[in-house]
Structure 1
Amino acid sequence: MKTKILINLFFLISVFSFAQRSNKPWKNGRDRETNQYNFVPSNLDLKSIRSQFEKINYNKLSNKSSPIPNPKNQTFEKANGINIAWINYGRDTGVDPNGGKNFRPNLKKFEEVMDFVSANNGNVIRWWYHTNGSTNPVFDNNQMVAKNPNFFHNDVKAILNLAQQKGLKVQICLWSFDMLKDQWAVDAVANKKLLTQNAYTKAYINNALLPLVNAIGNHPALYAWEIFNEPEGMTRRYADHWPGFLQKIEMKDIQSFINKVSGAIRKAQPKVKITNGALGFLTNVEDPEKGFWNAYTDINLIQAGGDLNGYLDFYNIHYYKWAGINGSPFHNAFDTSKIDKPTVIGEYYPDNLVLQGTPNINAKDLGKKLNENSWQGSIVWSWTDRTNTTARNNMANIISGYNSEIQNTLVADAGKDQSYNDSDNDGQERISLDGSKSSYTGSKIKSFVWKNKGKVIGTGAKINTTLPLGTHNIKLVIKNHENMTATDVVTITIEEGNAGPPVVIDEKLEAENAMILSEVEIKSDGSTSNGAYVYLKGDNGKITWGFDVPSDGDYSVNFRYNVPFGFKKQFLNVNTSYIGEIDFNGPQNTWQTKTMSLNLKAGFNTVTLTASWGYMYFDFITIKTEKSATETSNDLFLASSDVFGKKKKAFAIYPIPAKNYLTVKGSELGDKIKVFDTYGNIILESTLNLHQESIDVSGLKKGTYIIQVSNKGRQFLIKE
């Protein structure tokens, strides 16, 4: 009898705990047109509503708003793509609470969406994770979130991995306002507790959120975590007329939850971005004249939830026609006096925009219009809701249109200011400059030019150069293929210093960038240092490396080689001196190193290997000195013919091959030109008096020479 009572009691408790899950039939959508999209602002007095939030709107008390990120210090990655937002509504990954069935993502369908976005040069898709809480997260009998199964995390990783393969990123939206509605398997009471009661919120964070966030980490395909989709829909003040809700909450509950969840994410994974999807301008823009307020500023969120780490990195704002002209990002430009963070327009329909009192906007121009108005992203709605050909074509045009506009973003970044000590007290110091963080969203940057006091000191994203004592403001000028330019300045200070321990420099020179002649072939191999090596065959095949050293003396030269056919001998020359026939041995088909001590002269030197037995591979050589940095950079040791490997130019010298005259273009007045033979001997020397000048080379014998124009680098010349 006692056992029967206990069983009945357990049954009653179980029924009570889960009786609140909705029995509505499942639909793969939400009948969106019957909800907020019939919301007409004229039904509401927005100024009156804003006044009701004055007590919790701390924006007016803040001395200054958060600054928009400086492009040099924090370039915002614009979003351009579409909402999926689900393949199977609430069931992309989850557990059926009624039967224990596991729901897993249909990756083929995800791939279809991703291919569409990628084909139109987009970069982001927006996908809903918990959605309404019907299958994910898992709840216990006390309506608290329990420990979630690991396959949830694996499913998210699989989606992100697929996006990474497609060159895309995913904005993962955790929750939608649907969590309080009467929809299949939704427990609106449990979800309300999760949002409003601290113990239930902590259970969600500890058992579902943080395990997922830590499993994903800073995945390269994660664009951002989005806390809510349109949480204002759960409030009476903004959406009391929306049908189908079983529970309602207040704006302060929403702010507190966003604060606590974003704080937990940031503390666990500080490098990821966090955002929120607002219903519209009315709750995300500070504009009293229109009755708008920004509920999601740092100060408002922190005041609501108390977590100093609980803030957003950027905003998502949605737009539908009910918001009219006042609430339209297509008719209002991004205004830093009213909104304090980068803002993505995270939902809108791919339809012609027709509003009374203003010209129509064609659907294909919506993306372009958002960029013209300086909004930092466009994510159109939605793959699952809009399946007809017209809508899909409009989506394609919107993505392409927005992308064509963002291609004009060209930002030069010369790196951080640097200070050096003169390590050997010679009145100058060798330094490195790095402009590789410069960006151009359209395609690759065409050129990098570094200048000191108006004179070019190097070209390329990264250079090494020598500067005298003092302060130098180095200007980086970058150019794209449309010849647009952007500049940035980095300050380099060289101070006097005591001579300390020697600085060991180990410079690498790739064989495929050296001068190669006759029976020599460049081959690809991912296991080599730069993905390629040189196959030195027989019949006078030759590899010549050129480089500078700071002073006369013995240097360690390391040859990286492979003897696939066993022991080999090759001839070695250093400058004009024949060193001898050098042995290369060791196990076959294995990369190994041979070290030799070679006597080099101050300035330019050449090391040449000529085939004796031939038939072996070379990856690179390194020149090691303990005196000071050398100019042994292949960015300065340039080849101008395919026979020499990769084609690189620091300035214009032509024609190559040359017969009687050689033209030097882009030089500075007073630059020195030197022509060396392959042994490092100066054959011809002259001073340039024009920016473009012809040099008489008719007196040179047929052969291969090396040209140097001041500090602009070297390249090979073939004389016919």
Structure 2
Amino acid sequence: MKKCIGLVLSAVLIILTAIPSSVSAAGTVKLGDVDNDNQVSALDLAAVKQHLLGTSVLTGNAYIAADVNANGEVEALDFAEIKQYLLGKITRFSGEQQQTGIGITWMDGKKLYPVGVNYAWYNWSYEFSDNNWASNFARIKSDIDTMSTKGVRALRWWVFPDLAYGPIWSGANEGSLCTGLPDKWVDHMKETCDYALSKNVKIYWTITSFDCARNDDSVDHDDIIDNPVVLQSFLDNAMKPILQKLGDHQGVMGWDIINEPEWIVNKADNGEPNGKGESFPLSAMRNYIKTTCAYIHQYAKQPVSFGSANMKWLGAQYDLWDDLGLDFYDFHWYDWATPYFNPTTTPASSLNLDKPVIIGEMMPDAKSSSLGMTHKQVLDAIYKNGYAGYLLWSWNDGAYDCKPYIGNDFIDFGREHSDVVR
């Protein structure tokens, strides 16, 4: 197919030299249809190539049609997207989802482009315990104050990373049922959301992580993934009180069902088990995510997703997570993946997902990575490529601390896209 397109392009370029490139027509412009013949073809690709080479200039509706990522410029990214479209790798252009700005759809029905950081945890599994809450909350407020001054508008925060202390269980082993939450746990989560909202920050609550399947824990409740009775007890007795309190809270960005489940999905199902604990069939993990998503939708107005370990599993190589009822998709990006899966050079539309997709974890120091880019430069590139959000790892993770690398990047990006960074 690539060879065919190349041969057609050679012939088309000869023809186009005699045709004015300022093709325009009244009515709605169809992205990719540069010559206005009601189809996207090699002729359109050739016209864009001529424009980029400077042998002709696109103007008017032809220019608008060529700008398939809808960023106001006709550039190499547009040429690459049209080529992917012709090769059948994508079925729509990224600009088609940008009519009112890129972003996820939040509970007010408007687009929201989450820009921010992961907060992860300070007190693993004990984050919202009533023990030492006054001092813990003082630290939380101080951190949120600083985040707000740096343009952080979204905060991804883990709630029950390994299902150990919170919530409460009838026993320590598989088969135990969830019986509730520690005292004042929900109150402290709400207090945190209230304060975050006062600083124009929204929290993206991550419910659990692949860490729930680790062998080195003294408790074992990973059977929420493959035991429907245990899962229902967790949903009813841990999640429901949280959702009832926070399901319409303006300080909640969304709900993240599980962090990086691919590390505990069986190899036979194209997962990559980390060898540190149990792994599960893809069918079990899909059912867990789908069931939890549907449950959250009963009580919460905010959108629901989960954090995939890499875009590899969200359509770039494998398509593991379609048809689960999610409101947006979320994948994580570290430099090991850049040579293979790079959102600055890969349009979101090429993943063929049915909902917007955000980058829920991003390497803290992009400038010193193989990208050699500031976070503002990365944000500009992924916005052009149709991605819907960007959160760094992490505000409080020692050697992976993102604070020194934010600068004014979020502030500058937010100022340029104030319609969706809010």
Give the TM bin, normalised by the shorter chain: 0.5 to 0.7
Aligned residue number for residue 131 of structure 1: 161
**Structure 1 CA distance, aligned partners of 2:372 and 2:151?**
26
8 Å Cα contact 1:205/1:261 also seen in 2: yes
Q: Quick check: which has more Rg, 1 or 2?
A: 1
Aligned residue number for residue 318 of structure 2: 292
Tell me: CA distance 1:404–1:183, structure 2 relative to 1, closer, same or farther (3 Å): farther
Equivalences for residues 269-668 of structure 1 within 5 A:
269=300, 271-285=301-315, 287=316, 291-293=317-319, 295-298=320-323, 301=324, 311-335=325-349, 338-352=352-366, 360-362=372-374, 365-386=377-398, 391-407=402-418, 440-441=419-420
Q: Report the Cα offset of residue 182 of structure 1.
A: 3.4
**Structure 1 CA distance, aligned partners of 2:365 and 2:151?**
20
**Structure 2 CA distance, aligned partners of 1:140 and 1:216?**
26
Q: Report the Cα offset of residue 281 of structure 1.
A: 1.0
8 Å Cα contact 1:370/1:402 also seen in 2: no
**Structure 2 CA distance, aligned partners of 1:89 and 1:397?**
30
1:216 matches 2:235: no
**Structure 1 CA distance, aligned partners of 2:162 and 2:336?**
24
Q: Report the Cα offset of residue 241 of structure 1.
A: 5.9
Aligned residue number for residue 234 of structure 1: 264
Deviations 1:302-330 (A, max 9, x none): xxxxxxxxx11111110112223331223
TM-score w.r.t. structure 1 length? Answer: 0.41
Give the root-mean-square deviation of aligned CA atoms: 3.1
Q: Report the Cα offset of residue 231 of structure 1.
A: 0.8
**Structure 2 CA distance, aligned partners of 1:226 and 1:103?**
27
Q: Report the Cα offset of residue 107 of structure 1.
A: 1.3
Tell me: CA distance 1:355–1:211, structure 2 relative to 1, closer, same or farther (3 Å): closer
SS in 2 for 1:91: coil
Q: Of 90, 94, 100, which aligns to 1:71?
A: 100
Moved over 6 A (4+): none
Q: Report the Cα offset of residue 261 of structure 1.
A: 0.8
**Structure 2 CA distance, aligned partners of 1:388 and 1:341?**
30
SS in 1 for 2:254: strand
Letter in 2 for 1:78: Y
**Structure 1 CA distance, aligned partners of 2:260 and 2:393?**
14
SS in 1 for 2:312: helix
8 Å Cα contact 2:394/2:400 also seen in 1: no
Equivalences for residues 35-54 of structure 1 within 5 A:
none
Aligned residue number for residue 120 of structure 1: 150
Q: Of 275, 289, 292, which aligns to 1:261?
A: 292
Aligned residue number for residue 421 of structure 1: none
Aligned residue number for residue 35 of structure 2: none
8 Å Cα contact 1:82/1:126 also seen in 2: yes
**Structure 2 CA distance, aligned partners of 1:71 and 1:268?**
28
* Structure richer in strand, relative to its length: 1
**Structure 2 CA distance, aligned partners of 1:250 and 1:273?**
26
8 Å Cα contact 1:68/1:341 also seen in 2: no
1:86 matches 2:121: yes
Aligned residue number for residue 228 of structure 2: 198
Q: Which has the higher contact order (CA 8 A, sep 6+)?
A: 2
Letter in 2 for 1:324: T
SS in 1 for 2:234: helix
Equivalences for residues 672-711 of structure 1 within 5 A:
none
Aligned residue number for residue 23 of structure 2: none
Q: Report the Cα offset of residue 90 of structure 1.
A: 1.9
**Structure 2 CA distance, aligned partners of 1:442 and 1:263?**
27
**Structure 2 CA distance, aligned partners of 1:168 and 1:354?**
28
Q: Report the Cα offset of residue 248 of structure 1.
A: 1.3
**Structure 1 CA distance, aligned partners of 2:358 and 2:121?**
20
Equivalences for residues 148-167 of structure 1 within 5 A:
148-167=181-200
Q: Report the Cα offset of residue 89 of structure 1.
A: 1.9
8 Å Cα contact 1:344/1:375 also seen in 2: yes
**Structure 1 CA distance, aligned partners of 2:247 and 2:369?**
44
Deviations 1:7-61 (A, max 9, x none): xxxxxxxxxxxxxxxxxxxxxxxxxxxxxxxxxxxxxxxxxxxxxxxxxxxxxxx
Tell me: CA distance 1:110–1:84, structure 2 relative to 1, closer, same or farther (3 Å): same
SS in 2 for 1:318: strand
8 Å Cα contact 2:150/2:406 also seen in 1: no
Tell me: CA distance 1:292–1:355, structure 2 relative to 1, closer, same or farther (3 Å): farther
Letter in 2 for 1:382: S
Tell me: CA distance 1:220–1:352, structure 2 relative to 1, closer, same or farther (3 Å): closer
1:246 matches 2:277: yes
**Structure 1 CA distance, aligned partners of 2:291 and 2:421?**
38
**Structure 1 CA distance, aligned partners of 2:143 and 2:385?**
27
Aligned residue number for residue 538 of structure 1: none
Q: Report the Cα offset of residue 236 of structure 1.
A: 3.3
Segments of structure 2 that go 5 or more residues without pairing to the other structure are: 1-90
Q: Report the Cα offset of residue 332 of structure 1.
A: 1.6
Deviations 1:141-197 (A, max 9, x none): 351111224511111101101101112110000011111113454x23x22x21101
8 Å Cα contact 1:280/1:319 also seen in 2: yes
SS in 2 for 1:265: helix
Letter in 1 for 2:281: E
8 Å Cα contact 2:210/2:261 also seen in 1: yes
SS in 2 for 1:206: helix
8 Å Cα contact 1:91/1:103 also seen in 2: no
Q: Report the Cα offset of residue 404 of structure 1.
A: 4.0
**Structure 2 CA distance, aligned partners of 1:232 and 1:94?**
29
8 Å Cα contact 1:364/1:394 also seen in 2: no
**Structure 2 CA distance, aligned partners of 1:347 and 1:161?**
24
Letter in 2 for 1:242: N
Tell me: CA distance 1:261–1:442, structure 2 relative to 1, closer, same or farther (3 Å): closer
**Structure 1 CA distance, aligned partners of 2:244 and 2:355?**
26
**Structure 2 CA distance, aligned partners of 1:370 and 1:378?**
9
SS in 2 for 1:335: helix
SS in 2 for 1:276: strand
SS in 1 for 2:386: coil
Aligned length: 319
8 Å Cα contact 2:262/2:273 also seen in 1: no
Aligned residue number for residue 416 of structure 1: none
SS in 2 for 1:196: coil
Aligned residue number for residue 171 of structure 1: 204
TM-score w.r.t. structure 2 length? Answer: 0.68
**Structure 1 CA distance, aligned partners of 2:209 and 2:344?**
25
Letter in 2 for 1:276: F
Letter in 2 for 1:89: W
Aligned residue number for residue 107 of structure 1: 137
8 Å Cα contact 1:84/1:125 also seen in 2: yes
Letter in 2 for 1:373: N
SS in 1 for 2:349: coil
**Structure 2 CA distance, aligned partners of 1:283 and 1:441?**
27
SS in 1 for 2:112: coil
Deviations 1:459-517 (A, max 9, x none): xxxxxxxxxxxxxxxxxxxxxxxxxxxxxxxxxxxxxxxxxxxxxxxxxxxxxxxxxxx
Tell me: CA distance 1:366–1:235, structure 2 relative to 1, closer, same or farther (3 Å): same
Q: Report the Cα offset of residue 387 of structure 1.
A: 6.3
Aligned residue number for residue 412 of structure 1: none
**Structure 2 CA distance, aligned partners of 1:396 and 1:112?**
18
Letter in 1 for 2:360: G
- Identity, % of aligned positions: 20
